[in-house]
Structure 1
Amino acid sequence: MVKAVVLGAAGGIGQPLALLLKANPLVTELGLFDIVNTPGVAADLSHIATPAKVEGFLPPDDGLLKALKGADVVVIPAGVPRKPGMTRDDLFKINAGIIKDLATGIAKAAPKALVLVISNPVNSTVPIVAEVFKKFGTFDPKRLFGVTTLDVVRSSTFVSEIIGDLALSKDVVVPVVGGHSGVTIVPLLSQSSHSLPSSVDGSAYDALVNRIQFGGDEVVKAKNGAGSATLSMAYAGAEFAGKVIRALNGEKGIIAPTYVNLSADAEGGAALTKELGQELAYFSSNVELGPGGITKINPLGKITEKEAELVKAAIPELVKNIETGVNFVAEAYKAAEEPRL
């Protein structure tokens, strides 16, 4: 019996993500929340012949808390999508308050749930969720994930295109580490399950890395103001959520890259920190999943000199992104606690 909840279920990512979770036979209950249209989305999905019972909630009458009651897994795609010309800072200013409020609801109604954050910018929104949970005394680093699966999906697709056989895309596995935006996205192509052609070196290699790092820009530009990477993100979110649910049900040996707090596994986090040469609170690496969330954080392993340079370039941006999220929550609570004259 698994209850999955989607917060932001009526949006461009939320609707297809909810559809894919409804189609997952391991989901027996699906709770949907958004500020508009959720009852209609729920009614539509409820006609699909799969086991999950679907309910949709709106903000009135504690709708958020009702949607979250009994949740095992909470997926958060809520927020405003990126538009042409919009920077990550712009996106953060819009979405940060939304994520803080949703995290507050989770802390109150589903403190033991496994929480999967999709809302961008993930490098900063995951720390927001963590800091809110700390305020409520419910923070468990093993249960909080930043969903970076889209970077892995893109890597698999682009590598299979270069190999010349898209049929391989489901089999190609490329670990992607670091974070989930721009230069923080580091594909470890040397560890790809399928070797790249020898012709992919120099500028061709750099072009592939750049396409993986900035694939979102490619979609935003192609949609010409009509949205961002919603369908591919919904697919990637459902892929990762499916792995989390399988692990929750006791399946062993499931490993996936995800952006996590390194205190979730003290030993693994320390080993990864040694590789990085600098302490970071959050980093995306291959993580082993279990019924309680994170069971092990794996190291980077053997990487090339070029990949080491990419990791080094990612770290300053990650530090900045993490501080942005932590500081937002600190300032928000400070403002709330200050007496008004």
Structure 2
Amino acid sequence: MDKKVTVVGAGNVGATAAQRLAEKELCDVVLIDIVEGVPQGKALDLTEAAPIEKHDAHLTGTNGYEASEHSDIVIITAGIPRKPGMSRDDLISTNAKIMKDVTQHIAKLSPDAVLIIVSNPLDAMCHVAYEASGFPKNRVIGMAGVLDSARFRAFIAMELDVSVENTHAFVLGGHGDTMVPLPRYSTVAGIPITELMPKDRIDALVERTANGGAEIVSLLKTGSAYYAPASAAVEMAESILKDKKKILPCAAYLEGEYGFNDLFIGVPVKLGTKGAEDIIEIKLTDDEKAALEKSASAVRELKEVLKKLA
């Protein structure tokens, strides 16, 4: 295939992203992980499924970076999950080191790639990748809003008993409990959900969306979500690879948009071959602005932690 996407991190999110990319025949896939045998085994397993799934994407598993050279997109899922007793600062410290190392390797071999960051804490890791890569802002994007919006859409469809294909939703802000779902811009077949259900039900869905990841963690007990996060990253990759110009909520570097500077925050972004080709500014109510400011403050706090670690 004429396109190549590298996925760094062969855990559940990374391996599922590799599967989605290959089965959609979007590109050849390189799967990288530091654990010997894991990326090789998962790539081989996916290759053996290809005759059944009817795709001709080539999958390569490796512990090094050489095979990733000249990638069009690199999806970075590498990092450790937060463990019991681990502080947020500990998590940021460990994952920032991993992100910096990964990004520097990638930038040398694929200087024209678009980076899609999935590792947590998402907004902070975007800043690390941006600085470590030296890439222009349009080629470093965080995956959060697509996932959060998909969760909101799923809950709307369940609540109203309609097709998920009819549902559209927007979630702005940082990835986490400060995210800002926007019911006014969330619709079913073009009809705002504010006209289809009472405020108390909308509020309940908004709260469930904000806690979407935690809800899955509480059910799985020993892991976190990976099907939906992988699908979200691949939707972003597809829009870039095919130059579809989809407008999707992504963590993008802001320089004055929405009144914020030098911050990665979830906003509507047009995704095409060049990455984040345009940031769409929508009008917000005072309450929505206040919620977005609260979300931005949480991202600023993470940035301050990064500065102390540097």
Q: TM-score, normalised by structure 2?
A: 0.89
Secondary structure of the equivalent of 2:225?
A: coil
Unaligned runs of 5+ residues in structure 1 are 263-268, 332-341
Counterpart among 308, 323, 327 of residue 289 in structure 2: 308
SS in 1 for 2:71: coil
- 1:316 and 1:271 map into 2 onto residues whose CA distance is 15
Look up the match of 2:62. Answer: 57
Q: Name the structure 1 match of 2:161.
A: 164
Q: Whole-Å Cα distance in 2 between the matches of residues 207 and 305 of structure 1?
A: 21
Q: Which residue of 1 aligns with 2:237?
A: 241
Q: How does 1:240-319 map to 2 (within 5 A)?
A: 240-247=236-243, 251=244, 253-262=245-254, 269-273=255-259, 278-299=260-281, 301-319=282-300
- Amino acid of the residue matched to residue 233 of structure 2? G
2:302 is aligned to 321
Q: 2:139 aligns with which of 137, 140, 143?
A: 143
* Contact 1:83/1:220 (<8 A) preserved: no
- Displacement after TM superposition at 1:97 (Å): 1.5
What residue identity is the alignment partner of 2:43?
Answer: A
Can you give the 5+ residue segments of structure 2 that lack an aligned partner in the other structure?
Answer: none
CA distance in 2, matches of 1:326, 1:123: 14
For the 8 Å contact 1:80–1:95, the answer to whether it is kept is yes
CA distance in 1, matches of 2:263, 2:291: 19
Amino acid in the other structure paired with 1:270: G
Determine helix, strand or coil for the equivalent of 2:293: helix
* Cα pair distance change 1:174/1:3, threshold 3 Å: same
State the match for 1:115 in structure 2: 115
Does structure 1 retain, via aligned residues, the 8 Å contact 2:265–2:296?
Answer: no
1:34 offset after TM fit, Å? Answer: 0.3
1:96: Cα distance to partner? 1.8
Give the Cα–Cα distance (whole angstroms) in 1 for the partners of residues 302 and 105 of structure 2. 24
Q: Are 1:190 and 2:184 matched, yes or no?
A: yes
Task: State the shift of 1:112 in Å.
Answer: 1.0
Q: Shift in Å at residue 217 of structure 1?
A: 0.8
| 2:44 aligned partner | 43
**1-side partners of 2:90 and 2:156: how far apart?**
31
Deviates more, 1:66-75 or 1:311-320: 311-320
Q: What letter is aligned with 2:151?
A: R
Distance 2:288 2:122 in 1: 22
Give, as a single letter, the amino acid of the residue that structure 1 aligns with 2:62.
Answer: F
* Match in the other structure for 2:224: 228
> CA 1:310/1:111 → structure 2, altered by over 3 Å: closer, same or farther?
same
Relative distance call for 1:312 and 1:200 in structure 2 (3 A) is: farther
Is the 1:13–1:77 contact (alpha carbons within 8 Å) kept by the matching residues of 2?
A: yes
SS of corresponding position for 1:115: strand
Kept after mapping to 1: 8 A contact 2:40/2:62: yes
The 1:163–1:221 alpha-carbon spacing in structure 2 relative to 1, beyond 3 Å, is same
Structure 2 match to 1:265: none
Once the two structures are overlaid, the 10-residue window that deviates more, 315-324 or 111-120, is 315-324
C-alpha distance in 2, partners of 1:131/1:188? 31
Q: What SS does the corresponding residue of 2:94 show, helix, strand or coil?
A: helix
Partner residue, 1:30 = 29
Compared CA separation, residues 270 and 93, structure 1 to 2 (3 A): closer
Tell me the distance in 2 between the aligned counterparts of 1:141 and 1:271.
13
Check whether the contact 2:93–2:306 (CA below 8 A) recurs between aligned residues. no
SS in 1 for 2:116: strand
Deviation at 1:150, TM superposition (A): 0.9
Asked if 2 retains the 8 angstrom alpha-carbon contact of 1:82 and 1:228, the reply is no
Report how far residue 287 of structure 1 moved. Answer: 0.9
The answer on whether the counterparts of 1:190 and 1:304 sit within 8 Å (CA) in structure 2 is no
Count of residues in Structure 1 that have an aligned counterpart in Structure 2: 298
- 2:13 maps to 1:13: yes
CA pair 222-90 structure 1, distance change in 2 beyond 3 A: farther
1:157, CA displacement in angstroms? 0.6
